[in-house]
Amino acid sequence: MAAKAGKKGTVQVAPLPKMAVGRPLLLGKDICVQDYINALRKVGGVVNTTIAMPAANGIIAARNPALLVQHGGHVEIAKACAKPLFQRMGYDKRKCSNAGKVTFARFEELQEEFLADIKAAWLMNDVPPSLIFNWDQTAIKFVPTREWTMHRAKDRIIPIASSDDKRQIPAVLGVTLTGEYLPPQLIYQGKTLRCHPKVSFPQEWDIWHSDNHWSTEDTMT
């Protein structure tokens, strides 16, 4: 507060201009990151810390990569950056209107039986642990969607684009008994290599195709 004399000797108190308090933002003026998140939510895309962190990292890498730790700078994108960003934007964790998943009540019991059978076969045949594999296939969606997204807390309708899109491809994942993960296999629908996406996968991944493909209406787990 600042004081100054009035016309009749009275003292009038004038407020000083407000100053910014607290530590400066790690990303500086993160308007570009906020614009990206707002645009993503505008089209119904999912927004969470997993999405915001690489988005911020990519925007900084494109505009001023010297700020990033991997380039000798001081900025390291982590969840500690994403959560305050959502708070400044007025975003809160909200759930889509999709039905919740049903848990399998006997999962733990069947898991114990499965592991007991594996252990018995392992001991009887003297198989090295590194040669014992466990693999399964799961669905990978073309459009990654979730039931939860960051959205403005005041809104009642929480749209998520393509939340009912069931298009997916099989992914075969495996791991040895020693805990070593095998390179994944992705199987696209088609008869030739032309059905493969035009993206660069890691060299050790197995990318293949099959005409006998899951239906777009199937729900695989």
3-class SS of residue 146? coil
- Taking each helix axis from N to C end, the angle separating 31-42 and 79-89, rounded to the nearest 10 degrees, works out to 70
Burial 126-146, CB ≥16 within 10 A → b, else e: eeeeeebeeeeeeeeeeeebb
Of residues 96, 95, 82, 181, the one with CA closest to residue 130: 181
More confident of the two residues 176 and 14: 176
pLDDT tens digits for range 68-126 = 888 887 777 777 777 888 888 888 888 775 554 445 667 778 788 888 887 888 888 88
Answer whether 158's CB lies under 8 Å from 149's CB.
Answer: yes
Q: What integer best gives the mean pLDDT of the chain?
A: 76
Q: What percent of the chain has a predicted confidence (pLDDT) above 90?
A: 9
Please determine, for residue 23, whether its predicted confidence score (pLDDT) is greater than 90.
no
Confidence class for position 55, pLDDT limits 50, 70, 90: confident
- From CA 167, how far away is CA 189, in angstroms rounded? 11
Radius of gyration of the chain (CA): 27
8 A C-beta contact, residue 30 and residue 56 = yes
Distance of CA 146 to the CA centre of its chain: 9
CA distance 190 to 170: 13
- pLDDT higher than threshold 70 for residue 4: no
> Once rounded to an integer, what is the mean pLDDT over residues 146-155?
76
pTM, whole model, 2 decimals? Answer: 0.41
Q: Is the pLDDT of residue 220 over 60?
A: no
Provide the pLDDT for residue 215.
Answer: 44
201 near 179, Cβ under 8 Å? no
- Whose tokens are 């500086």? That residue is 28
List the domain boundaries for the chain.
24-89, 130-210
